[in-house]
Amino acid sequence: NFPIVRIYGGLKGSGTHDDAIRHMLDCMGHIHFVESEEAKQNLIKFGEEPWRIFVCGISHLDDIELDYSSCPAQPYAVVLMNPVTISRDQTVMDCMVAMDEAKRFVDETRGYVVVLPPNGDLYSDSVLNVIHSRTRFIGSKALVYDERMLRDKFLALLEKCAYFISNSSATKYEFPVVNPHGDVYNPSWRNQERTKPPKLESGGSDKIIQML
């Protein structure tokens, strides 16, 4: 008999198995704290009663001090490819396109490319295989990280990079906030259908606490 508070429901369009799980959690929530008016309207379309839904913004960027120690001094691109969990073949093709685009960036700018590992979902092994096979064509200009980066370093990389090559939701959320003038290239249909709220407001942590 405990009420369930669902945080950040009403999202859709990631192109992974996550969509089904998110919808299931939406159906279980008694009270919803959502990031945007769009997410609220999605829940209403699913049949949720409007009085249960509160728009609070995001907490992704709350109380984080950026660590720039991993940022190259020269211009650089960041590559972050996560698997398309419904297709290994699609995962491989998308990652090959991403690494080819990274090589083009290095050839044209003489800069670096920082390559980050995937999120660990199904077919992440295919992502890693493509990364390690393709970075040999880039050579010493490719800085490959084998472990996931802490959030303060990751956001610092995004803030300073010239180009973000990724199919991650970070292209819709973190990157536009920390680097509004940077360029994004998504070589996959993963997350392309996910729409970025017209206005991202941080401070969601405090708003959720206040509302509770």
Look at 10-24, 132-146, 176-190 and tell me which has the smallest mean pLDDT.
10-24
Q: Given strand 5-7, what is the order of strands in its sheet?
A: 5-7, 31-34, 53-55
pLDDT at 14 over 70: no
pLDDT at 77 over 70: yes
Q: Which two tokens stand for residue 146?
A: 């084998």
- Any residues with CB less than 8 A from the CB of 199 and at least 6 apart, and which? 36
Q: Is 122 exposed, middle or buried (0-12, 13-18, 19+ CB in 10 A)?
A: middle
Q: What is the pLDDT of residues 93-142, one digit of tens each?
A: 999 999 999 999 999 999 999 999 999 999 999 999 999 999 999 999 99
pLDDT at 174 over 70: yes
Q: What is the pLDDT of residues 33-67, one digit of tens each?
A: 998 888 999 999 999 999 999 999 888 788 889 99
* Residue where the block lists tokens 């959320």: 173
Q: Give the span between the Cα atoms of 146 and 117, in whole angstroms.
A: 6
pLDDT at 195 over 70: no
pLDDT at 185 over 70: yes
Distances (CA, A) of 57 to 29, 99, 206: 18, 34, 10
CB 26 within 8 A of CB 20: no
